[in-house]
Amino acid sequence: MKRTKRWLLATLIVGVGLGGLTIGKGTGHAATTDPQSFISTLKSPVTSVANKYKLYPSVMMAQAALESAWGTSTLTTTANNYFGIKGSYNGQSVTMQTAEYDSNGQLYYTDANFRKYPSAKASMTDNATLLRGGTSYNPTLYSGTWRENAATYSDAANALTNTYATAPTYGSSLISIIKTYGLNTLLDGSTSSASSSSSASSESKPAAKPEPTYATAKYYGGASGQTARLNSKYTSYRLYNHVKGTRANITKTAWKKVPAGQGVQVYLDMRGVKTTTAGNKTTWYRIRFSNSASAKKYWLYGKALTLPTVKYSKGTAKVKVNSALSGYYYNHVYNSPYLAKSMGKLKALTAKSYTADNQAIRTQDGVKTTWYRIKVGDKKYWIAANEAAVSPQYDYVTYANASGTKKLSAKYKKYHLYNHVKKTHFNQQTFDWPSGVKKGTKVTVNYKGVKTTYGTTWYRFKFSGDKTNYWVDSRALA
């Protein structure tokens, strides 16, 4: 088992390239520029493997982040190789350019084979095996990382300097990542204390200060262009570079340093749900004061914003999509408080019709738009009804005023009562016949509808002493 000679330089070359040049392309791994998403995705395999091999999960996560450039290196995206380990894994490898040094210390580039793993967990396991087994010439080379030998995660991280990597700052870089993202609290848990043998050997050391406890946050990305406005209470809150209380060294920005003011529009690209150690949840948004993707981003508590409102109603309808338009369909109503993520282009929705099971009316700055949730295969997505992106297919009805009384016919029980003429509205509701009614019961008619396609007639009526209007097929009345 072999690694690159220069951990950072090699990672850059097979990852994002030197001087901005990307060397190699590929897919197969969900790369991310969001550290929290990276941590959330790898939390399970890291803790499982590290605890099995009696290593610190926080150190393993920090190593994976550092070596893979937070999962964005080409080696990671193409081969699930998070640690830059050379060779082959079960016969599988990828060839990439890397940097080496000759006997005179001169840098040169060469192609090398790197291990290709079937999963992130396999990469974690292989690295753990290396740390536990060492090399053929020194099986205990990495014994300083073992939990029975390392009293703290800091000891384990520093033990990797001049062993795993030659960079003198390697250990401190790992420790910085661990502290910044609270990895020891998040991952090491109750097992983060040293083993009994290690504790015994360190009795003379002063007691370590307890590590701070941070809240956790789950993040949801959103499509560009979604907006909100600063409300009248925005100055009661602060702008932060991360969700407040989720990590160390979070900084604030004063409102006077940004173009803020009540009613000022801001652009949203991410939502974060923070959970405290007590289990309390709050919602935060990452905002910009310009629609430019390069504009500086801040995290802000949701209560400082006036967000669009959305009213949902269940129902059913067949909808026809105009796939000739250039829009998208989403996992939520676009520009709702959930923030929507684009799931595909309208041109992919080529079926004759789709079934909608939910309708939403979004109100933003006084403007209302209608959305439908449609089923595509076994998935459900939201699509806009405005601008002819989607139109419900209802039965056509001509209406006219009506008056007088009618009686329930002998066949009235064969028909149902509705809040609208059947198959003409999304929020169609069906009602049972009230108790006590029977053949011959009188009702007062006040409106009439004719389905021209089918030639059927419907009446809207009330029962005596009841203010509720019902629609029924005319065959239920005599």
**Gap between the terminal Cα atoms of the chain:** 89
Mean of the per-residue pLDDT values for the chain?
85
Q: Which amino acid is at 229?
A: R
Residue 243 gets which letter from DSSP? -
DSSP H or E run through 179: helix 170-180
Q: What's the mean pLDDT in 19-23? A: 27
Q: At 205, list the tokens.
A: 């050391």
pLDDT value at position 257?
Answer: 96
For the sheet with 107-115, list strands across it: 2-3, 85-86, 107-115, 93-101
CB 126 within 8 A of CB 55: no
Q: At 301, list the tokens.
A: 């508590």
Residue pLDDT, tens place only, 73-91:
989 999 999 998 999 999 9
pLDDT value at position 403?
Answer: 94
CB 111 within 8 A of CB 126: no
d(CA 384, CA 342) in angstroms, rounded, equals: 12
Q: How far is Cα of residue 257 from the mean position of the Cα atoms in its chain?
A: 30
pLDDT value at position 392?
Answer: 66
Nearest to residue 477, comparing CAs of 430, 420, 433?
433
Query: 278: Cβ–Cβ under 8 A, 6 or more apart, which residues?
Result: none
Q: At 270, list the tokens.
A: 């991410």
d(CA 45, CA 71) in angstroms, rounded, equals: 14
Nearest to residue 478, comparing CAs of 406, 414, 416, 417?
406
Flag whether pLDDT at 389 surpasses 90. Answer: no
- Banded pLDDT at 8 (limits 50, 70, 90): very low
d(CA 355, CA 383) in angstroms, rounded, equals: 12
DSSP H or E run through 133: helix 120-133
Residue 18 gets which letter from DSSP? G
pLDDT value at position 103?
Answer: 53
What is the gyration radius of the CA atoms in the chain, in angstroms?
32
pLDDT value at position 10?
Answer: 38
If one compares 102 and 35, the residue with the highest pLDDT of the two is 35
Q: Which long-range contacts (CB under 8 A, 24 or more apart) does 459-468 make?
A: 459/402, 459/406, 460/402, 461/406, 463/434, 463/437, 466/434
pLDDT value at position 203?
Answer: 41
Q: At 149, list the tokens.
A: 């030998």
d(CA 90, CA 117) in angstroms, rounded, equals: 9
Flag whether pLDDT at 383 surpasses 70. Answer: yes
CA distances 319 to 249, 342, 344, 391, Å, are: 51, 20, 18, 5
The proportion of the chain whose per-residue pLDDT surpasses 70, expressed as a percent, equals: 85
Query: 209: Cβ–Cβ under 8 A, 6 or more apart, which residues?
Result: none
CB burial of residue 176 (10 Å; 0-12, 13-18, 19+): middle
DSSP H or E run through 357: strand 354-364
Flag whether pLDDT at 180 surpasses 60. Answer: yes
d(CA 159, CA 82) in angstroms, rounded, equals: 19
Flag whether pLDDT at 334 surpasses 80. Answer: yes
Query: 406: Cβ–Cβ under 8 A, 6 or more apart, which residues?
Result: 442, 443, 445, 459, 461, 477, 478
Largest CA distance in the chain: 108
Other Cβ atoms within 10 Å of 167 Cβ, number: 16
What DSSP string describes 377-411? Answer: TTEEEEEE-GGGSEEEE---EEEEE--SEEEB-TT
d(CA 261, CA 236) in angstroms, rounded, equals: 12
